[in-house]
Structure 1
Amino acid sequence: MVNQFKKINRKIKIAAISLLSLGLLGTFSGVQPHVPIASPFPAEFSLGHANAATLSNTYATAANADLKTATTSNYFAPFDAKWAYTAGDLGANYTTSGTTLKVWAPTATSVKVISYGKSGSNATAPQVATYTMTRGTVANPSDLTKNTIGVWAVTMPGDQNGLVYTYQLTFGNGTISDYAGNYGAVNGTSTTMTTQDPYSIATVSGGLRSVVVSPASVTPSGFAVKQGTEATWRQASSTQAVIDEIHIKNFTNSPTSGVTPAYSGKFLGVAQTGTTNPNTGLTTGLSYEKALGVNYLQILPMYDFASISDTGLASPTFPSVYNWGYDPLNYNVPEGSYATSVTNPNTRLNEMKTMVQAIHNQGMGVVMDVVYNHVYDQATSSFEKTQPGYYFRRSSTTGCGNDTATNHLMFRQFILNSIKYYTLNYGIDGYRFDIMASFDKDTMNAIRAMLNTIDPHILTYGEGWYMGTDVPDDQKVDVSKAVQTPGIGYFNNGERDTIQNFVAGDQNSSGLLLSAIRGSGDGLMQYGTPAQAVNYVECHDGQTISDLEWLYNPYDAQETHEARSELASAINILAAGTTVMQNGQEFNMSRYVNVSGNPALATIQQAKIESNHDTGLKDIADAQIELARNPYNGVVTLNNTKYFVGDESSNTNWDLASTYAAQVDFLRQLIHFKKANPSFWPDDYSQIYNGTLIQPLRYDSGIVSYIMANGVNKYLVIINASGGSLNFTANDTYYDNSLAGKSILLSSDSHLASGTSLSQAWSLGNYSLALIQLQ
C-alpha cells in the first residue's frame, strides 16, 4: 500500500495520555554488542567546560559529523550508540501544574517552542509566545534512557491543556541529506525549520500544529481500556480469529448502511449499533458483523493521513474526498475527516475511542492498520524537519517512496512508543503492518516482545512480500523469516492464489490446496506455526473474489459464478490459520462502476472486448473500459486500484446482503461452526498432521476431501471443483468411512440442506463444499 501519488500502484486505569507513560521501554538500549564504541566525547566535554550555548553547539557539531559518517556509510549503529535516547518521554508530558515538551534533535543548534495560545483548531492563529528549549547535558551511552545530549526540553508552568504549538529548529551547521541518490551530501547553510511535534497525539485541523491535551479531556463517557483476561474479546490464539477488513468511510457512507447521515463516513458511524438497511430491513454495520461471527475488525488506516482534507470536503488542494489512508502525516493522531468536527482538536480522539469501545461492547476486537514503513512526503515530514538526514532509508524501492529506516534506533523507538500508546490509551487489540518486509526483524521482534508484556493475545501480522529495500536480507521481514519472528503473522499469498485458481477451474492446483488447508506449512509457504498463516482470498488490494472470477470466467452462468465465489470464501474460512475477509466479500461486492449506464453487450461485442482483456492491475489514469458480468451487467469502468477513487465504487452496498442472502447465511454458519470447533483452529502443525487425513482422488481431479479429528469429534469435508457433480449412493462408504446414518451438517450446495440424510443417494454439485460430522 502506498500514498496517493506514489503507487500506480484488562482492568487497569487508563494510561496517561502523555507519552511519559511509555518510559517502560527504557530498558531497550539498541546498542549492538559487536559495535565498538569509544568514549563518545573528548575528556574536556564536561558541564563546566563552557556555557550552555557553547556546549550545545559543540554537541551539534559532533553530531553533524557523526551523522555524515553514518549516512555516507549507511551504518547508523555507532551514531545511535552516542546520540539515541530511549526513555520514552518525547513529546508533550502533561500535568495540571505544567507541561514538559521534549524533542530529539542532536544536530540542531537551537530549538524553540512557538506557542499559538489555546486557539483550538485555528491553523492560522498568530503566535503569542516563544519558549527557548535547553539541550540535555548527560552523555550516557551505556544507558540510553539517560542519554540526553540529543534531547531538547522546556517546561511551561500551569495547566497547558489546549495549548497549540510548533517547534522551530535551527541547524547552524547545515544539514545532512538522506535522500535516495544523495546520501551524505552536506548543506552547509544554516537552516531553520518549523514543524509539528513528531510525537503529537492531537493537532489542529490540517495537522501542522500540535496540541497539548489532558487525559480527562480525551476520555469519553463509558470508555475503558482493558488488557489480559478482562479483554474477553481477544482470542487465545490468532487461529481462532475471524477478521473482517473495513474502511470507515466505505462501511458507513452508503444510504443502504442505515447510518445516521451526520455520522456517515465517520468514527461514530462505525460505532452505531442496531442499524438496518432502509431498502431491505436487514441488519447492517456492527450488529451485522457480530451476527456474521466476526471477532475482529481490521480497520484501514485511521491515523491522520495527508491526502484528504480534515473537513472531508474537496478543494483545489485536496481534490479527492476518498483515500485508503496509506499516506501518513501524524501517526499518533486520529484522522480528522473521520470526526464530526475539526474545530475542537479533542473531538477526533474522543470519537475514535467511542468507536473502539462500541466494537468491544459487541464482543469484537480492533486491529489497526499501521503504515510505519513510509510517510506521505519526506521533505515536509516532521521527522525530516526535527532531525534531517536520519529517519529515512538510503533507497526507496518498495514502490512507496519516502521509506523509513526501522533499523535506526530512534525510529524503532518511535514505532514502539506509538504502538504502546495506542494499546494503552485506545485499547487497540492488534496491528496489521503495511509492507512489513521493509521492517527489520529486530524491530518486529521488539514490537512483539513489548506487546507480550501488556497482553500476549494482541495480534501482530502484516505483508511479508519480498521487497528490494536496503534492509539486509538476513534482517528483512519477508515470509522466509517467519520462524525467526515468532508471534508475527504473514499474509498468505500462496493460499490466496491457490484458492483463487482452484475455484477458477485449475484442477492441477488440488495438491497445493491440500497444503493451504493444512496451514501452508508443508511446502506452500514457510511458517513456523499455523497462526502465522494469515489466510485470505480478498482484501482492499486487487480485485474482489467476485470480480476476479468474472475475469477468469466471463461467460459463466450467474449460478456458477456465485458458486465459485462462495466456495473460495468457504475454503478460506476452514483452512488452518488466521482467517481474514473483506467487508462485503460474503455478498459478492464488486469494484466495477457502471458509469455509462449501457445495457449488456451482444456476444460478439463481449468477445471483442475480452480478446483485448488484461487481468492485471490497471492504472486509474488509463481509464480502461472492461467487461465484467456484475450487478450492472454491462460496460463498466474498472476501479480496481481504488485507493483514491470516488465513493461510488467503494461504499459497501448493503443491498447485496439481501440479494445473496443464502450465501451470507451459509458463510455465517460456517464461521460459527469453525469458532465452536477447535479441530479447525490448531495452533501447532503437529495437531494438523496427526489429526488430519487428506486424501484427494487425484491431484488433478478438482476434488479434495479431508478429515479433521481431535479425538472427540470427527468431520469430513468434501470440496468439489471437478467440473461436474460428485455422486454418492445410499449408505455409501467414503475412504473407509461409512456415511450410513450420517447427514449433511453444512453445504454450499443449495440442493443439500442442513440435515439431508446420506442414507439415500445424493450428489454434491460442482464448485461446492459439504461438511459432514462422522462422530
Structure 2
Amino acid sequence: MKLKHVILMSVITAAGCSQSQKDGFSSYEDYPVYKGEWEEMVYSPSSTHFALWAPTAQEVRVMLYEQGLGGSAYQMLPMEEETDGMWKVKADGDLNGKFYTFNVKVNDTWLGDTPGVMAKAVGVNGDRAAIIDLDTTDPQGWDADKRPPMKSFSDMIIYEMHHRDFSVDTVSGIKNRGKFLALTEKRTSTYLGEKTGIDHLKELGVTHVQILPSFDFATVDETRLDKPQYNWGYDPKNYNVPEGSYSTDPYKPDVRIREFKQMVMALHQAGIRVIMDVVYNHTAVAEGSNFERTVPGYFYRHTEDGKFADASGCGNETASERAMMRRFMVESVCYWVNEYHIDGFRFDLMAIHDIETMKEIRAALDKIDPTIYIGGEGWAAKAPQLPEDQIALKKNIARMPGIAAFSDEFRDSLRGAWGDDSKGAFLIGKRGFSEGVKFGLAGGVVHPQVQTDSVNGPLRNWAGEPAQMISYMSCHDDMCITDRIRATMPGASVQEQDALLKLGMTAVMTSQGIPFIFAGDEVMRSKFGVANSYASPDSINAIDWRNKTAHRDLFDYTCGLIAVRKAHPAFHLGSASLVGKCLEYLETPSDNVVAFRINGKPEGDTWLNTTVVLNADTAPAEIAVPEGKYWIVCRDGKIDPVMGLGVLNGNKLVVAPRTAMIVHQ
C-alpha cells in the first residue's frame, strides 16, 4: 500500500470500523472537496443557516445555547448531508446573541462539542461559537478605513511586538494596558514625558507593526483574567476570531471583534500597516481539537505508524497539501484582510506548509491588494512529512515570488548563531563573519563580491529579489539583542553595549532586505537573559518605558536611521538586478570591517554615491574612496539625516572603532 493509505488505515483502526471505508475513501485525497461557499453560520433576523464539512460523519447535530459558558443546550438540531460532505440545517427565528456547537458522529462515536473550524465569533474561552451580526461590530468610520499607501515591499520597516509586552508597564501611561485598545490611545507618555504606545511608533517612523498571534488561543483562561497569565499565543484554538484576553470583555463576542478593528483603524490613521502573526502549521492540541472533532485525521499529517507527525515541535503538524486544509488557509487569510483590514501575514514555521499552498495564498491576496505582505520562517522545528522540494523552505523562496523569509545567515553573522548564546560574531569583533554580513546587506541575492564559501560555512543565495529577505538581529523567539551582547561580551559597559547596538541597527537599516526591529531593541530592552520567554511574567517580558529616557540617544539614532532609509532609495533598490549593478563592496583593512557604496544616484534619490562603513574593530578603520567632497550623515554614534554632521574632502574615510559611518556626494 502507499504510505498515505497506511496512515489513513492506522488512524481509523484505533476507532474501529471506518465510515471512510464504508464510503469508499481509500485515501485523504479521495475526500470530497466542497465547491460552494464555506460558511458554517449565516445569520439573518428571520433565520440562521448552519453548515459543516464532515464527509466521514454518520450524523451531525447543532446544539444551541443561551450562554457562551455553562448551562445545557436548549435545543438540538439534526443536520442533513448534502453535496461533497457538507451537512446543513436552517433554524427559524432570530437567534442573535445565542451560541452554538456542532457534534459529529464517526464510527458510531460522538466526537464532542466543537465551535467548528470556521467560527467567526465565540464566547469566553472559545468553546462555543456565537451567533452575531458582524456588521454591528464595525466601529464608527470603519467603512472609510484604508491601508496606508505603499509602493514596494522594499519600502517596509517592520516592528515586531506583543500586545502585553508593549503596553503592560505601568510607566507607559496607557489605560488599556495589555489590550487591543492600548494601540488606540493617543498622547500617552511616561511621567518624564517620553511618548509611548502608538505615538512612540509614529515617532520611531516604522511602516508596519507585526503583532504576535492575536487569534483565539488556548492557554490563557479568559474567565480568570484577574490572575496573572502569560503566553505568546502560538497555540491556536479558533483561527478566525480575535483572542479574548486582549479585549475588555471576553464574555461578549462582539467586543473582541470591535476592539480589534478599532486597533487596526487607529494604526492605519497613524500611517502604520498591520501584520498578523499566523500559526496554521499546528494546533494547541490534536486530540480534541476543532479539526479532529470535525473530520478525524484529515487536517493533520501522520507518521508511518499512524501517530501525529510533529514538525512543529508542538505535538502535531497540519496537512496544507490537502485540498480542504489548503482552502481553509486561503480563506482564513482573506477573511482577516476583508473583515479586519489586515495588511500582511507572518507565517510561523512556514516550511511545514507546501509551496503550492503558499503560492495560492499569494495569488488570492494579490486579487485583493498586491501590496499585502507575506513573510515567514523558512524552516520547521523538525522534518515535515513532505519532500524538501515541496515545502516552503528558505532555500525554495525564489520559487515563491512575493513571499519573504527571515535571514538567519545575516542574524547569526551579526550577533552569533542560534542555540549557543555565549558565542558572538561580527558585532563584538569576531573574525570570519564579514561575508555573512555582506550577504545580508545585499538582501540575500546573488552578488559577485559575496563569497559563498565563507569561513563560517557556505552561504546560499536563496532570495530571488531583495524584498524576499527579512533583515534582523533579534525577534521575540530567542535572546533580544541587548541580552545577546551582554552574554557574548561579559563586563561590557553600557556605553559599549550602546555602540554595538547602534552598529547592528545600522547594518539592518542599510540592508537591501526588509528591515525588522524587535520591540524595545531601540531602547536597549532586556529580558534578563531569558530567551524562550513565552510563559515568563511581565517582570521579564514587559518593555520598561523608563529605558526610553535612559537610552534616548539609542532611540534617536534608530529614528535617524529609519528616516534615512525611508528618504533614500539607495537603501531599498528593490530588485536583484539593481543590487548587482549598483552595490559595490569596498576594500577594508580588516575582516571586522565591511564597507559598501551605492554607485551613482538611484531613481528618486537626492544622494550620489552613498557610502556606508561598518567598523566592528577595536581600532579606527581607514577606507579608500574616490576623490571628492562628501557630506557626513552618520559618524561616531551620531546621525543627522536633515542637517548632516559636516563635510569632508579627499579620498579616504576614517571610521572610529565600533561605529558606523554614512556619507554621500
Same fold (TM over 0.5): yes
Aligned to 1:105: 54
Offset of 1:159 from its aligned partner? 2.9
Is the contact between residue 499 and residue 658 of structure 2 (CA under 8 Å) also seen in structure 1?
A: yes
Q: Is 1:124 matched with 2:124?
A: no
Corresponding residue of 1:672:
563
For 1:154-233, list aligned pairs within 5 A. 154-171=89-106, 174=107, 190-224=109-143, 231=147, 233=148
Whether the aligned pair in 1 keeps the contact of 2:426 and 2:434 (CA below 8 Å) is yes
> Where in structure 1 do 4 or more consecutive aligned residues deviate above 6 Å?
none
Q: 2:327 aligns with which of 399, 413, 417?
A: 413
Aligned counterparts of 2:22 and 2:187: Cα–Cα separation in 1: 58
* 1:251 equivalent among 154, 159, 166: 166
Give the residue type in structure 1 aligned to 2:632.
Answer: I
Write out per-residue CA displacement over residues 620-669 of structure 1, whole angstroms, 9 at most, x where no aligned residue: xxxxxxxxxxxxxxxxxx42210001111111111111111111111101
Tell me, in whole angstroms, the C-alpha distance in 2 between the residues paired with 1:589 and 1:98.
Answer: 53
Rounded to whole Å, the distance in 2 between the matches of 1:721 and 1:292 is 25
Q: Which residue of 1 aligns with 2:449?
A: none
Of 180, 185, 196, which aligns to 1:284?
196
CA drift at 1:312: 5.3
Match of 2:581 in 1: 690
Q: Give, as a single letter, the amino acid of the residue that structure 2 aligns with 1:661.
A: R
Relative distance call for 1:751 and 1:439 in structure 2 (3 A) is closer
CA distance in 2, matches of 1:86, 1:645: 44
1:102·1:153 contact (CA, 8 Å) conserved in 2? yes
- CA–CA separation in structure 1 for the residues paired with 2:20 and 2:479: 52
The correspondence for 2:187, drawn from 263, 274, 278, is 274
- Could you tell me how far 1:314 is from its partner in structure 2? 6.4
The letter of the residue matching 2:37 is G
Aligned to 1:464: 378
Once the two structures are superposed, residues 719-746 of structure 1 have per-residue CA deviations (whole angstroms, 9 ceiling, x without a partner) of 1112212368xxxxx32242x4x33112
Alignment correspondent of 1:653? 544
1:499/1:234 CA distance change after superposition, 3 Å: farther
8 Å CA contact 2:635, 2:645 repeated in 1? no
Greater shift, 676-685 or 155-164, is seen at 155-164
* Largest Rg, 1 or 2: 1
Q: Distance in 1 between matches of 2:541 and 2:601?
A: 42
CA, structure 1 residues 469+560, in 2 after alignment: closer, same or farther (shift >3 Å)? same
Change over 3 Å in CA distance of 1:452–1:750 after alignment to 2:
closer
**1:584 is the counterpart of 2:520:** yes
Equivalent of residue 452 in structure 1, options 360, 366, 373: 366
- What residue in structure 2 maps to residue 510 of structure 1? 434
Q: 1:641 to 1:192 in 2, by over 3 A?
A: closer
Q: CA deviation at 1:512?
A: 2.4
Secondary structure, counterpart of 2:42 in structure 1: strand
Quote the sequence identity (%): 30
Q: In terms of mean alpha carbon deviation, does 189-198 or 321-330 score higher?
A: 189-198
CA distance, structure 2, for counterparts of residue 431 and residue 543 of structure 1: 23
Alignment of 1:244-643 (within 5 A): 244-260=159-175, 263-278=176-191, 280-311=192-223, 313=225, 321-394=229-302, 395-465=309-379, 467-500=382-415, 501-522=425-446, 523=452, 524=459, 525-592=461-528, 638-643=529-534
Match of 1:54 in 2: none
Q: Which amino acid aligns with 2:325?
A: F
User: Equivalent residue of 1:745, what SS?
Assistant: strand
User: For 1:744, what is the secondary structure of its paired residue?
Assistant: strand
Partner of 2:647: 757
- How many residues align structurally? 615
1:488-521 Cα offsets, whole Å, 9 max, x none, are 1001111111122211212321222222111111
Residue ranges of structure 2 left out of the alignment (5+ in a row): 5-17, 303-308, 416-424, 447-451, 453-458
Aligned to 1:179: none
Q: Distance in 2 between matches of 1:762 and 1:192?
A: 71
Q: Does the 8 A contact of 2:595 with 2:611 survive in 1?
A: no
SS at match of 1:743: strand
**CA distance in 2: counterparts of 1:772 and 1:64, whole angstroms:** 74
**Which amino acid in 2 is paired with 1:219?**
D
How far is 1:773 from its partner? 1.6
From the superposition, tell whether residues 359 and 701 of structure 1 become closer, same or farther in structure 2 (CA, over 3 Å): closer
Q: Does 1:720 align with 2:615?
A: yes
Letter in 2 for 1:210: A
SS at structure 2 position matched to 1:102:
strand
Distance change in 2, residues 1:223/1:503 (3 Å): same
User: CA shift at 1:750, angstroms?
Assistant: 4.3
Tell me, in whole angstroms, the C-alpha distance in 2 between the residues paired with 1:453 and 1:366: 19
Question: SS of the counterpart of 1:224?
Answer: helix
| Other structure's SS at 1:213 match | coil
1:663–1:748 CA contact under 8 A, matched in 2: no
Q: Give the Cα–Cα distance (whole angstroms) in 2 for the partners of residues 150 and 354 of structure 1.
A: 38
1:311 Cα deviation (Å)? 3.8
SS in 1 for 2:245: helix
**Residues 58 and 105 in structure 2, CA contact (< 8 A), matched pair in contact too:** yes
SS of residue matched to 2:293: helix
Q: RMSD over aligned Cα, in angstroms?
A: 2.2
Report the secondary structure of 2:611's partner residue: strand
Q: Deviations over 1:564-616 (max 9, x none)?
A: 11111111011001111111111110111xxxxxxxxxxxxxxxxxxxxxxxx
The aligned counterpart of 1:595 is none
| Pair 1:708–1:495, CA change in 2 (3 A) | farther
Match of 1:95 in 2: 44
> Relative to 1, partners in 2 of residues 1:567 and 1:413: Cα closer, same or farther, differing over 3 Å?
same
1:188-228 Cα offsets, whole Å, 9 max, x none, are: x53442211211111111211110110232112222375xx
| Aligned mates of 1:735, 1:239 — CA distance in 2 | 27
What CA distance in whole angstroms lies between the structure 2 residues aligned with 1:314 and 1:64? 50
Q: Residue 489 of structure 1 aligns to which amino acid in structure 2?
A: A
Change (3 A) 1:126 1:663: same
The one-letter amino acid of 1:205's match is V
**Letter of the 1:241 counterpart:** M
C-alpha distance 751-762 of structure 1, shift in aligned 2 (>3 A): farther
Taking the aligned partners of 1:692 and 1:727, their CA distance within structure 2 comes to 20
Residue deviations 1:538-584, cap 9 Å, x none? Answer: 10011111111111111223222211111111110110011111111
1:299–1:762 Cα change, 3 Å: same
Q: Tell me how far apart the structure 2 counterparts of residues 725 and 698 of structure 1 sit (CA, whole Å).
A: 10
Alignment of 1:8-157 (within 5 A): 61=19, 66-67=24-25, 69-70=26-27, 76-77=28-29, 79-80=30-31, 83-117=32-66, 119=67, 121=68, 123-136=69-82, 148-157=83-92
